[in-house]
Amino acid sequence: MRLYLANIESWTFPHRGIETLCEKGFEVGGNWMEPPFRRELEEFCPDVVLYAPHRRVDALALHKEDLLRTPTVLWALYPDYITGWDREKNEHIDGFLESVAVLMPYFKRDLVQSVFTKRLLEERIDGYQFDVCFLGIDLEGIDRCRCENRAPRSQLTVLWQHRWRTDKNLQGALDVIESLAAKHRDVKFIVGRKEDWDEPFWVPQSLKDYYADVATRLNRLGSVQFISPFETQVDFWRFLAQVDIAFSCSYHETFGIAMLEEAAASIACVVPNTVAYPEIHSNAILVPHSQIASAVDRLIQEPQLRAEVAQRCLENARKYDVSATAQKLAEVIAGVGHDQ
């Protein structure tokens, strides 16, 4: 059976998940997959399409005639696009995108990646129930990279690794780092994904102005490092071997792949006690946004607590292997194909 993954990246659905599907007899292609799986929809001629609507300009947008021609399963991985997002309040809008709503009667199955997203969408459209197909991470690959790159270190490292956007609360993260870096001069603080501000929807001028101001102060501290996005997932996993603590300040999170990968690398994690974090990251330190800095501070100062939290995070991450995601998808897709 030929399965097409529309608007699904390997960062979201790792390569090992595709390999698992192939082992189960699927031929897999997708517009955002890495070679050799990157294929255009028209030339791939799929038996079933797994569709994740997205606002990116290079995203594939399906229409009613596409769904009537090819059985299609909705996997709502990017619900902010479907509900709308209030950039002032940093929360989902009480809407449901019309271009997706008109397609709902024609999807063969409706999937989401978390219970949080299930509730979010079911509150906004009547008559539809969404099944949860959790995302997964490549536990085997992360563990291998952790073992291969582990080395003695004399300096603690704290990481913030998210998109530079208002919904991911870049300003809050840099405030946390500035306060802690001034206090702990012997700790390295890393700000990941140094961006080129290519998403204007999420990046108002005020955020750029804030960064221009705070970056000068952070650079003067000498212990704050800005790093560019990693070219591959494996590069990121290798890098995680040098990290001790990771944190998030996000207002917007419906799963949290990066934080889960960090947890799988045995990193002690601090996350907000909102959105999908309590569901997916239940063993991390969960606190209100206002207490994130103090929680990270505790982990820096208390080695035993740091080790305990890292172990808890690792145990939780092990529940989300991508092979289980692939197994669930295989069952859903096989059922759709069988019904035709």
> pLDDT tens digits for 145-183?
999 988 788 899 999 999 999 999 999 999 999 999 999
pLDDT-derived band at 339, boundaries 50, 70, 90: low
pTM, rounded to two decimals: 0.94
> What type of residue is 6?
A
Q: Are 309 and 296 in contact (CB under 8 A)?
A: no
Q: What are phi and psi of 190, to 5 degrees?
A: -115, 130
Q: What are phi and psi of 64, to 5 degrees?
A: -55, -45
pLDDT, position 337 = 67
Q: Are residues 43 and 182 in the same domain?
A: no
pLDDT of 198 higher than 70: no
Token digits of residue 118: 């299930």
Give the chain's domain count: 2
Q: Are residues 262 and 333 in the same domain?
A: no
Contacts of 61 (CB under 8 A, 6+ apart): 53, 99
Q: Which domain holds residue 181?
A: 139-317
Q: Are residues 40 and 84 in the same domain?
A: yes
List pLDDT tens digits, range 31-85.
999 999 999 999 999 999 999 999 888 999 999 999 999 999 999 999 999 999 9
Burial class (CB in 10 A: 0-12, 13-18, 19+), 41: middle
Q: Are residues 31 and 165 in the same domain?
A: no
pLDDT, position 199 = 72
Q: Are 130 and 111 in contact (CB under 8 A)?
A: yes
Q: Are residues 119 and 147 in the same domain?
A: no
CATH of the domain at 153: 3.40.50.2000
Q: Are residues 125 and 148 in the same domain?
A: no
Contacts of 213 (CB under 8 A, 6+ apart): none
pLDDT, position 338 = 58
Residue with tokens 């079933």: 48
**pLDDT mean over 9-26:** 95
Q: Are residues 252 and 111 in the same domain?
A: no
Q: Are residues 231 and 202 in the same domain?
A: yes
Q: Are residues 163 and 205 in the same domain?
A: yes
Name the average pLDDT for the chain.
95
List pLDDT tens digits, range 243-255.
999 999 999 999 9
Q: Are residues 145 and 293 in the same domain?
A: yes
The phi-psi region of residue 82 (left if phi > 0; otherwise alpha if psi is between -120 and 50; otherwise beta) is: alpha
| Cα gap 249→261, rounded to integer Å | 17
pLDDT of 340 higher than 70: no
Q: Are 27 and 72 in contact (CB under 8 A)?
A: no
List pLDDT tens digits, range 277-298.
999 999 999 999 999 999 999 9
Q: Are residues 107 and 249 in the same domain?
A: no
Q: Are residues 79 and 165 in the same domain?
A: no
Contacts of 288 (CB under 8 A, 6+ apart): 272, 273
